[in-house]
Every structure is written in structure tokens, then in C-alpha cells.
């Protein structure tokens, strides 16, 4: 029985120029304690997927179809109080830039304790003790002194640790991390990722890690989804996906990594750019940039399918399998 | 905190010196104290002697120094019209203006905060749209016109409220006369305070609304939602505290504008405050009173600005009033 | 900058304008006011500035439609026997003229100072901005009252009447330049950070040329927006000054002076002497503010992607 089951999720943004589909028929699942990654370029729909789960999509966007099953209930159907019970409690989120995530005028203590007190009846002293515990778990030195400090008094890395501590504070079953290391110094990135990995393993917490960086998913996740222009185009165990990608887009992504290039030669690029959501081409969204495209790719949208745990949405892969 | 206060005090002193210099220069140019004292028929020689005795022929800087010395001792000259020390006249009229400002501030805070917050949270609600339209109207009607309209409607046509004067007062601490504690006084202050508030209130509504709307879009608010906090807490603690910061800053500037607007309001209502006194002093070319007013207003201004800065520093933790080691 | 009617018609600004009833109506009313005030010398039935052309026996006639009105005066007469319609037409012209000239003066000063201050930076910048801060902390109205009062007392009423308009424009213009300077300076600082400025510097363009050709065009949007606000504020300030008797004299009245003139008469029933100019003043300011609001929304890059 999976922890999270997303079925045929669709998200629309009604703009002045017309309705734009940010997510088209997204389906995936997550088991208890499993760590998956969602990769893709900016605008592919990764963050929208994350926000959709907790119904935090910025207006005027909304879920127009599909279901999100968690703990026996459909998150997409919930009313205000029900979803409030899930947020910060059973499912937590971590955002990208910890300086923007923490409220600058409130103390660390306030921002941690309120997360606990919003979901259970705890006296403040108790809640503070749990907060210190979690600060210790994320390896912040001298955790008691941090409680009365303000976000601007901490370094970038420490702030993100605090954010992770807040995410863990109610012992959630799942953490959704949206580009958690992108805004941090390169030297800190590895530390934070390692921390995240250890915490998830030790506390058996599920993780959805969203990033544009393949190196990051390879470090932390067990399974990876690749998104392009609002759809999932490939899925599979991370190690396999990176070592032998099926979809031409994924192949392009891996090929474009600097590690794959011999020093002195040009970097491999995928020609063109990902289309904006208002201008998605007919058929396979990737076909204008795909060097292997055939006639079928221009008219028919490929389905995400596969025989094993490797799923791929490409006609060529499909035909080869058959 | 101490270093901060010291620095602000230093700035305040410099500003006051500049104001006093400018005021003194005005005094120098305007009017002839001798004429007020002595009259036309006195001979020229006696005039010259009097000038010497009064020190009016001394060099500029000496006269300025004398002016400064006197001012620091509370002597700002004697009003030509009232024939009393200028400072006394001002202190007499000050409570009336303070009453007016307090009443206007009351209206402003009472309405702008809830309306601004509501309009930010529910921007498409009919009430928000109405509030916004009324705001533009309020900003577009000059303060003295609001005053005139209110007088015409409530005093002339309907006869419900008085159109001038202050009404009954009660004396507190044996010197401070306030009209806020009598029913008659309240009926007199109603229209003037609403007029004074009418230009600043819409400004605050728009300011609070736009700042709060920006705050509501910020990442930390989205994070607050993601934590599963209650709406009320997100709106009134997380959002409002951040909204307050720019509002305090702008609000501080508005106080200066309020002082100028009291002149207009008091003139329309013949409210016996400092502003009305100032205007009459201008018409009568009562130079000592004019100069004294400028200095007192300058002082009020500097003090209020400093207080606003301190309040801002207390509310905003990223500003270090106290040297906090990071 | 190529400019063609076709291009304008297809721009998002035009699109927004055509679809915004408020903006269109405001623009229409404002243009009408502008037009009639410019044409006032030609279309006004009487000349209110000609001290010999009116008769005190004609005073206090109400507007047409009320009892006791006189056919010669469409909107009635004031306490001196002057035709209300004519005084309002001329008065509107003066109010608008002062608003525009004062704004042009502050714009000219403010933009120049802001450009220089922002571009050359360092000590010059801190010095100029310190002055700007000090000026900003003193409200224009307060400063104007003081300066005009002193001026009036110093030169006497006759000279005052001759120079009133000039003085008002000067005072408001000089008091408000920091608004423009700050806006321009902020733009300049933002643009300076962008790469194209370094690129152009490397080519070796002189600073002045860089300022005018490259940076200035990027400041047009915010400057346009604050200009509407500043014109409206100038008109309001002048009206307040005239109402206090420190602005335009009653012999060449602006709308503010007319309102001042008629104030005492609302108690005796002659409401039109104050309220008709008041109405025109409000409509004038309101339409400028509404257009300014629309302009701000339409030029806001955050909303129109």
C-alpha cells in the first residue's frame, strides 16, 4: 500500500490570454520511507506538482482533474480544515531560499513552536524542548541559543537546517523539498543533502526531492521522475535512469553534464529551448528538439508506459519494446 | 540603544540649529520691532538710540547668538499683537491643536487598519472595491474642501453640529485644557477631526492594502501556509507585522503633512489652535510669533521623527538599535 | 525610436486603455477641462480680470435654474458681481498652468540632479541625497506657506499680485525636486548594474552620452507615473495656498482663490460662489489621479507579463 498515490493530476492556470495547462495527466506513487526525485528544467512543472499535493498552487491556478491519495483520503478534495491538518503535520515542505522562507520579524522559536502548536495541544515549554531536539538532529551547534535569534542572524546553511528542523518537527510521513540546495553555497549544498538523506533514512520519512540538478538526485533518491512541459516523460530507479536513460530528452540531459564531456571539446547541448506552456507543440512535446523524431512523434502524444519499473513516454522506445 | 539615541540627538540638534538660523533670518527681514514699540511720531535720533540700546545695530552673528541664548532659556520674543511672550501664546494654543491631531489619528487608525487588511485579503470583495474608490475620492478632495462640505452639510443645512470654535474644555493638571472630555467639546471636534483625517486616512488604506498584498505573496507566507497554521495567525501575526514596517516609515512622514494640514483645517473651523494662530500672525506680520511658531513646530517635528525611528527599530529586529553580536 | 500609429494601436497600453472605462472617461473629461481652459479668453462670456468690467450691483445672482437668476450669468455671479462661468474658466486655466509649470520645473531639476547623482555616485551622490532627504522631511505646503508669507509681508500687496504666479511655481518646483531625483536615481542605479552599461563604457562612450542615450530612456515609465501624481499634488498645494490667502490674488484668481472668496457666503445662502469652483477643482484632481492610477497599473511590469 503506497503512502502517496497521485492519479491523472491536471493543473490549469487561467490567464488573460487563455487557459494554460501546467500539469497534464501526472501519475506516480510513493511508498513509505521511499525517496524519489523529480527533475526537469524551469517551467517543466516540478514545483507545481509539489505545491499541488498540499493545495498551495498560487492563484489563479487550480487542480482541474485527478486525485491525490494519502493516508486513505483524497487531498485534492479536502476542505480548508482538513488540508490544514495535513500541512506541516503529516506532509511537510521545504522551499528553496531559506532567507525568504523564514519570516524575518519572528524568532526561530516562534516559527518552530507554532508549527507544533498548530496541530496539537502542547504547552510552550514542551514544544520548545521538542524544537531544541530537532535543532540538534539537524546538527546545529548550541541549539538552545538559536531559539531567541532571528533568521538574519544565522548563516544560509544554518537557516536551511532550521527549515528542515521545522519540516521534521511534527514527525511527518513525507517531506517535499523544492530545490532545497539551489540557493546555497556549493560547499554547503553537499552537507545539506547528506543531512536530508540521513534524516529520511533514520526516521523513515518519505521524500520528494525536486531539482534541476541530476547530481543532486543521484546522491539522495532511489527513484527519479523526469518532467518536460508539464508531463512525466520518464521514470525509474535513479541509478539505472542515469546510467542508461531511455527517453531522448533524458539522454540529452545526461549527455549535457560537464562530466560527460572530454576536456577541450564543446559541451553537448540539447538544441532549442523547452516550449512555454502556452505554445506546446502537437504530438510529443519534445519532438521539435529531438534528433531521433519520426513522423508519428509530430501527431501522437506518447503514453508513459513500460514493462518493468522503468517507464518512458516515447514512441521509439515503445516500438523498440514491442 | 544609547549610541543610537546619542546619534539621533546630535542630528536633531543640527536640524534645530538650521531651523533657528532660518527663523532668525526671517525675523531679521520681516517687520521692524521698533515701529511696533514706539510709533511714528518719535524722532529719528531717538530711534537710532533705541536701536543701539536694543542691540539692533549689532553684527548679524552677535544678534543670532543672542537669539539662540534667549531661545534656549525659553524666551522667544514678545508677540506684537498679544503683547505677551510668544512662547506663552503658543503654549496656550498648543493643546487645541494636539486635541485635533489626537482625534484625527484616532479616526485614521480606527478605520485604515481593518479596512486596509480586509482589502488586501479579499481584493475582489465589493467592500474592498468600494473602499478603494472612496480612497481615490478622498485623496482628490483637498482638506479644506472636505471641511467646507462638512460644515455646509452638518452645520448650515442640517444644523446638527457647530461650525466653528472648540466648545467647552476641562483643565487637566491645572494647565492643559482639553475639549475631548466634554460632550460639547466632542461635538465641536467631530467635523474638524474628520476633515483632517479625510486626506490621510485614504492614503493609509491604500498603503496598508498594497504593502499587505505584497507581503501575502511572499515566500515566508507561503511557507506559513505549508506549515498548516491557522488563517488568522498568518494574516494578523505573520503578515501584519511585516506590513507594519513600511507603514511606520511612511506614517512618520505623514505626520509632517498633518501639521501643515492643521493650518488649513483650523482656519476653516476657526479652531483656536497653533495653526490658526500662525495664519493670523502672518496676516498681522507678528514676526516674533511667526518665528516662535517655526521653532516650536520644528522641535515637534524632530521629536516625532525620532520617536517614529525608535518605534521602527523596536518593531524591526533586523535593525540593530542595540549592538547585537551576530 | 520608430513611432507609428499602427504600432501604438497594437501596444498593450492602448489595449488596456480602450478597455478601461474609467481611464477613458477620465481622459475625456480632463481633455475637455484642458481645452476649455486654454480657450478661456475666447469662449468666456466676460473677462473676469478686467477690473472695470463688472458691477457690484450684479453681485450674488444664483445660477440659471434657481429663482432670482439673471439671464446674463449662466452660473451666477460672485460677491463682486463677476460672472461665475468666466471666473471658473480662467481659474481652471491658472490652476492647471501652475500645476504643469511647477511640475516641469521640479522634473527638470530633479531629473538632472538624479541622473548626475546616480551615475557619478560617491561623495557627490551622498551630498545631494542628504539635501534631498532634508528637503523631503519638510512638507512642501509648510515651506510654501512660510516662504510666500514672508514674501508677501516683505514686498507688500501690489508687488505680490504681480509676482504671485511666478513665486508659487518657483516654490513648489524647488520644494519637490527630490521626488524626481530619487526616482531617477533609483533607475540609474538599477541600470548601472546591468551589463550593457559596462559594455558601452568599454567601447568608450562619454558619460553624458551614456546617460542620455542609454539610461534615460529606461526611466520614462516611472517618471511618467510620478508626473501625474506630482501635477495633482501641485494643484492641491496651490489651491490650499490660495485658500489661505497666500496664493493667487482675487484679481487673478485660481480655483483655490475663488473657493476662499466664496467661503463666507455659504452661511448666507450663496452656496454657488464656493461650490461651483470646488466642484471643478475636485473633478480636475480626480481625473488626474484616476489616470495616474491606470498608468501605474499598466506600466507595472509585474502585472502585464
Q: C181-219, pLDDT tens digit by residue?
A: 988 888 888 777 776 666 766 776 666 666 667 777 777
Can you tell me the distance from the alpha carbon of B213 to that of C302, in angstroms, rounded to the nearest whole number?
A: 13
Question: Region A168-185: what's the mean pLDDT?
Answer: 89
Q: Do A84 and B241 touch (CB under 8 A)?
A: no
Domain boundaries, chain C: 75-300
pLDDT average, residue stretch C160-178? 90
pLDDT digits (tens, 9 = 90+) for A70-118: 988 898 888 888 999 999 889 999 998 888 899 999 999 999 999 999 9
- B196–C contact, CB cutoff 8 A: no
Q: Is B257 on the interface with C (CB under 8 A)?
A: yes
Under a CB-based contact definition with an 8 Å cutoff, are residues C81 and C56 in contact? yes
Mean pLDDT of B43-47: 74
Is pLDDT of C304 > 50? no
Q: What is the ipTM of this complex?
A: 0.88
Grade residue C305 by pLDDT with cuts at 50, 70 and 90: very low
CATH number of C75-300: 1.10.3720.10
What is the strand order of the sheet A73-74 is part of?
Answer: A18-30, A4-15, A62-70, A73-74
Choose among B26, B140, B253: nearest Cβ to C289: B140
Q: Determine, for residues C259 and B145 on separate chains, whether the beta-carbon distance falls below 8 Å.
A: yes
Provide the pLDDT confidence category of residue C9 given band limits of 50, 70 and 90.
low
For an interface test with A, which of B217, B219, B223 has the most A Cβ atoms less than 10 Å from its Cβ? B223
List pLDDT tens digits, range A35-67.
Answer: 999 998 887 888 899 999 999 988 888 888 899
- Mean per-residue pLDDT over chain A, rounded: 87
B29 neighbourhood in chain C, CB within 8 Å: 150, 154
Residue C234 has pLDDT above 90, yes or no: yes
Q: Is A123 in CB contact (< 8 Å) with chain B?
A: no
Is the Cβ pair A118, B228 closer than 8 Å?
A: yes
Query: Can you list the domains of chain A with their CATH numbers?
Result: 1-90+172-258 (3.40.50.300), 104-169 (no CATH)
Q: What is the mean pLDDT of chain B?
A: 82
Task: State mean pLDDT over B88-98.
Answer: 88
pLDDT for residue C82: 85
Neighbors of chain A with 3 or more C-beta pairs under 8 Å:
B
Position A9 pLDDT exceeds 50: yes
Q: SS3 string of chain C? A: CCCCHHHHHHCHHHHHHHCCHHHHHHHHHHHHHHHHHHCHHHHCCCCCCCCCCCCHHHCCCCCECECCCCCCCCCCECCCCCEHHHHHHHHHHHHHHHHHHHHHHHHHHHHHHHHHHHHHCHHHHHHHHHHHHHHHHCCHHHHHHHHHHHHHHHHHHHHHHHHHHHHHHHHHHHHHHHHHHHHHHHHHHHHHCCHHHHHHHHHCCCHHHHHHHHHHHHHHHHHHHHHHHHHHHHHHHHHHHHHCCCCCCCCCCCHHHHHHHHHHHHCCCCCHHHHHHHHHHHHHHHHHHHHHHHHHHHCCCCCCC
User: How distant is the Cα of C38 from the closest Cα of chain B, in angstroms?
Assistant: 23
Q: What is the pLDDT of residues A192-236, one digit of tens each?
A: 899 989 999 998 999 999 998 888 888 899 999 999 888 888 899
Amino acid at each position: 500500500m503506497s503512502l502517496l498515490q497521485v492519479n491523472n493530476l491536471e493543473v490549469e492556470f487561467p490567464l488573460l490570454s487563455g487557459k494554460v495547462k501546467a500539469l497534464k495527466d501526472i501519475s506516480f506513487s510513493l511508498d513509505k520511507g521511499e525517496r524519489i526525485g523529480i527533475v526537469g528544467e524551469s517551467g517543466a512543472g516540478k514545483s507545481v506538482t509539489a505545491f499541488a499535493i498540499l493545495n498551495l498552487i498560487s492563484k489563479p491556478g487550480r487542480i482541474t482533474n485527478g486525485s491525490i491519495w494519502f493516508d486513505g483520503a483524497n487531498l485534492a478534495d479536502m476542505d480548508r480544515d482538513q488540508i490544514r491538518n495535513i500541512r506541516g503535520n503529516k506532509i511537510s515542505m521545504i522551499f528553496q531560499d531559506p532567507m525568504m522562507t523564514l519570516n524575518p520579524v519572528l524568532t526561530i522559536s516562534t516559527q518552530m513552536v507554532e508549527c507544533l502548536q498548530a496541530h496539537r495541544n502542547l504547552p510552550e515549554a514542551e514544544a520548545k524542548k521538542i524544537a531544541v531536539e530537532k535543532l540538534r538532529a539537524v546538527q546545529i551547534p548550541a541549539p538552545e541559543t538559536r531559539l531567541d535569534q532571528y533568521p538574519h542572524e544565522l548563516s544560509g546553511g544554518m537557516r536551511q537546517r532550521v527549515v528542515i528542523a521545522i519540516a521534521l518537527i511534527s514527525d511527518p510521513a513525507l517531506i517535499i523539498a523544492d530545490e532545497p540546495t539551489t540557493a546555497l553555497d556549493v560547499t554547503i549544498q553537499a552537507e545539506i543533502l547528506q543531512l536530508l538523506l540521513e534524516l529520511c533514512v533514520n526516521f523513515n520519512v518519505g521524500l520528494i526531492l525536486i531539482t534541476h540538478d541530476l547530481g543532486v538526485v543521484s546522491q539522495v533518491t532511489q527513484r527519479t521522475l523526469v518532467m518536460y512541459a508539464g508531463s512525466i516523460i520518464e521514470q525509474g530507479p535513479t541509478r539505472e535512469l542515469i546510467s542508461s536513460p531511455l527517453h531522448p530528452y533524458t539522454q540529452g540531459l545526461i549527455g549535457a553534464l560537464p562530466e560527460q564531456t572530454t576536456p577541450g571539446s564543446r559541451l553537448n547541448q540539447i538544441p532549442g529551448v523547452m516550449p512555454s506552456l502556452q505554445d506546446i507543440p502537437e504530438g510529443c512535446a519534445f519532438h521539435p528538439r529531438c534528433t531521433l523524431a519520426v513522423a508519428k512523434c509530430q501527431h501522437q502524444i506518447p503514453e508513459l508506459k513500460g514493462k518493468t519499473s522503468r517507464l518512458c513516454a516515447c514512441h521509439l522506445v515503445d516500438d523498440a519494446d514491442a | 540603544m544609547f549610541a543610537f539615541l546619542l546619534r539621533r540627538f546630535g542630528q536633531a540638534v543640527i536640524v534645530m540649529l538650521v531651523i533657528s538660523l532660518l527663523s532668525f533670518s526671517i525675523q531679521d527681514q520681516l517687520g521692524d520691532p521698533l515701529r511696533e514699540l514706539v510709533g511714528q511720531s518719535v524722532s529719528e535720533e531717538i530711534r537710532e538710540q533705541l536701536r543701539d540700546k536694543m542691540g539692533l545695530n549689532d553684527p548679524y552673528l552677535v544678534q543670532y547668538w543672542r537669539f539662540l541664548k534667549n531661545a534656549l532659556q525659553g524666551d522667544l520674543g514678545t508677540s506684537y499683537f498679544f503683547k505677551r511672550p510668544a512662547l506663552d501664546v503658543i503654549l496656550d494654543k498648543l493643546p487645541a491643536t494636539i486635541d485635533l491631531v489626537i482625534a484625527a489619528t484616532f479616526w485614521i487608525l480606527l478605520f485604515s487598519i481593518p479596512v486596509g487588511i480586509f482589502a488586501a485579503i479579499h481584493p475582489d470583495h465589493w467592500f474592498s472595491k468600494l473602499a478603494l474608490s472612496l480612497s481615490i475620492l478622498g485623496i482628490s478632495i483637498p482638506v479644506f474642501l472636505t471641511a467646507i462640505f462638512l460644515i455646509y452639510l452638518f452645520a448650515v443645512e442640517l444644523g446638527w453640529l457647530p461650525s466653528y470654535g472648540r466648545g467647552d474644555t476641562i483643565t487637566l493638571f491645572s494647565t492643559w485644557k482639553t475639549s475631548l472630555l466634554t460632550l460639547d467639546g466632542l461635538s465641536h471636534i467631530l467635523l474638524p477631526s474628520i476633515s483632517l483625517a479625510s486626506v490621510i486616512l485614504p492614503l493609509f488604506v491604500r498603503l496598508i492594502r498594497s504593502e499587505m498584498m505584497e507581503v501575502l505573496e511572499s515566500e515566508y507566507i507561503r511557507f506559513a501556509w505549508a506549515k498548516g497554521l491557522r488563517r488568522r495567525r498568518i494574516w494578523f501575526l505573520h503578515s501584519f507585522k511585516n506590513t507594519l514596517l513600511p507603514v511606520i516609515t511612511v506614517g512618520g512622514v505623514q505626520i509632517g503633512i498633518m501639521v501643515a494640514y492643521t493650518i488649513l483645517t483650523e482656519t476653516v473651523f476657526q479652531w483656536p489652535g497653533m495653526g490658526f494662530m500662525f495664519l493670523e500672525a502672518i496676516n498681522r506680520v507678528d514676526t516674533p510669533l511667526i518665528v516662535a511658531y517655526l521653532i516650536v513646530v520644528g522641535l515637534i517635528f524632530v521629536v516625532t521623527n525620532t520617536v517614529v525611528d525608535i518605534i521602527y527599530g523596536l518593531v524591526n529586529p533586523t535593525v540593530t538599535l542595540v549592538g547585537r553580536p551576530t | 525610436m520608430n513611432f507609428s500609429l499602427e504600432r501604438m494601436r497594437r501596444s498593450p497600453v492602448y489595449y488596456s486603455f480602450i478597455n478601461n472605462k474609467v481611464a477613458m472617461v477620465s481622459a475625456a473629461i480632463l481633455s475637455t477641462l484642458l481645452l476649455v481652459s486654454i480657450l478661456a479668453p475666447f469662449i468666456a462670456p466676460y473677462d473676469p480680470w478686467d477690473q472695470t468690467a463688472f458691477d457690484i450691483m450684479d453681485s450674488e445672482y444664483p445660477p440659471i435654474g434657481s429663482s432670482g437668476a439673471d439671464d446674463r450669468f449662466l452660473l451666477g455671479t460672485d460677491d463682486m458681481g463677476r460672472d461665475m462661468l468666466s471666473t471658473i474658466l480662467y481659474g481652471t486655466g491658472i490652476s492647471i498652468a501652475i500645476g504643469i509649470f511647477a511640475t516641469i520645473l521640479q522634473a527638470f531639476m530633479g531629473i538632472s540632479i538624479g541622473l548626475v547623482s546616480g551615475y557619478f555616485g560617491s561623495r557627490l551622490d551622498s551630498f545631494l541625497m542628504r539635501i534631498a532627504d532634508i528637503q523631503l522631511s519638510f512638507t512642501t505646503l509648510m515651506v510654501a506657506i512660510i516662504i510666500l508669507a514672508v514674501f508677501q509681508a516683505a514686498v507688500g500687496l501690489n508687488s505680490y499680485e504681480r509676482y504671485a504666479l511666478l513665486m508659487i511655481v518657483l516654490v513648489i518646483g524647488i520644494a519637490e525636486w527630490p521626488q524626481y531625483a530619487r526616482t531617477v536615481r533609483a533607475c540609474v542605479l538599477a541600470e548601472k548594474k546591468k551589463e550593457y552599461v559596462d559594455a558601452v563604457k568599454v567601447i568608450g562612450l562619454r558619460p553624458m552620452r551614456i546617460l542620455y542615450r542609454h539610461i534615460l530612456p529606461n526611466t520614462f515609465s516611472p517618471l511618467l507615473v510620478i508626473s501625474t501624481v506630482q501635477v495633482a499634488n501641485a494643484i492641491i498645494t496651490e489651491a490650499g495656498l490660495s485658500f489661505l490667502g497666500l496664493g493667487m490674488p482675487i484679481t487673478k484668481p485660481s480655483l483655490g482663490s475663488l473657493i476662499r472668496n466664496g467661503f463666507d457666503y455659504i452661511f448666507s445662502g450663496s452656496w454657488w460662489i464656493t461650490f461651483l469652483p470646488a466642484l471643478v477643482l475636485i473633478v480636475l484632481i480626480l481625473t488626474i489621479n484616476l489616470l495616474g492610477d491606470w498608468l501605474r497599473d499598466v506600466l507595472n511590469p509585474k502585472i502585464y507579463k
